[in-house]
A = this chain, B = another copy of it.
Amino acid sequence: MYYPEPISKLIDSFTKLPGIGPKTAVRLAFFVLDMQEDDVMEFARSLVNAKRELTHCSTCGHITDQDPCAICQDTSRDGSVLCVVQDPKDVIAMEKMKEFNGKYHVLHGAISPMDGIGPEDINVSDLISRLKDEEVEELILATNPNIEGEATAMYISRLVKPSGIKTSRIAHGLPVGGDLEYADEVTLSKALEGRQDL
């Protein structure tokens, strides 16, 4: 045992976080020792609070400290457009854009037969019952542009089609600021396929 116990426990805790190896964990732990006591207490409290106070919104599945979440409660938002995303972080990304004024539905995952994740393992059934109860006119499928995300979007779109609700998929193409030269073939082919009249 090289380290006094309190610090070795702190190092262990840091090591459990993703992307933090043993050397970084040591550096962070020693940094904590040099921090103001108030800041450390605040850090500890924010860990406990984030874990204890946050739940998933029973309506849309987004993380929230009140149920239903602020977005679901917001009457100024257009409830007729529902954006379906995989993850709470995707809601944040959409909100940062400041252009979408509809509501969300968070799936908490994507269909992935390789990993044994089927439609029943993600938040699809809640989506279907929302479509029945709420007056939704358009479903924007904003799952990730990869195999799992595509499969999930396809699955939901087929499931919803009979109900007559319009479903759309966010566009694939070249990222803004990107370079045609370095675009991969699939993206380029999607960008060509999705070309729009000027």
Q: Which residues of A come within 8 Å of B, CB atoms?
A: 2-7, 9-10, 12-13, 16-19, 24, 26-33, 35, 37, 39-54, 63-66, 69-70, 88-89, 92, 95-96
Contacts and interface: CB of A to CB of B under 8 A. Distances in A.
A31 B9 CA distance: 19
Nearest to A92: B2
Contact of A3 (B37, B52, B66, B92): B92
B17 A31 contact: yes
A50 B6 contact: yes
Contacts of A18: 27-28, 31
A70 B33 CA distance: 19
Tallying the copies of this chain within the complex gives 2
Given A5-B65, A47-B44, A27 B31 contact: no
A161 to B, nearest CB: 33
A30 B88 contact: yes
Contacts of A13: 39, 42-43, 46-47
A50 B63 contact: no
Contact of A50 (B33, B39, B48, B65): B33
Given A28-B17, A63-B33, A89-B30, A50 B2 contact: no
Contacts of A92: 2-3, 26
Nearest 5 CB-CB pairings of A with B: A44-B44, A13-B43, A10-B50, A9-B46, A40-B51
A66 B4 CA distance: 9
B65 A51 contact: no
Question: Which has the most chain B C-beta neighbours within 10 Å: A4, A48, A54?
Answer: A4
B27 A19 contact: yes
Question: Which has the most chain B C-beta neighbours within 10 Å: A19, A35, A44?
Answer: A44
9 contacts: A2-B95, A3-B92, A7-B54, A10-B47, A13-B39, A32-B47, A33-B63, A40-B48, A47-B47
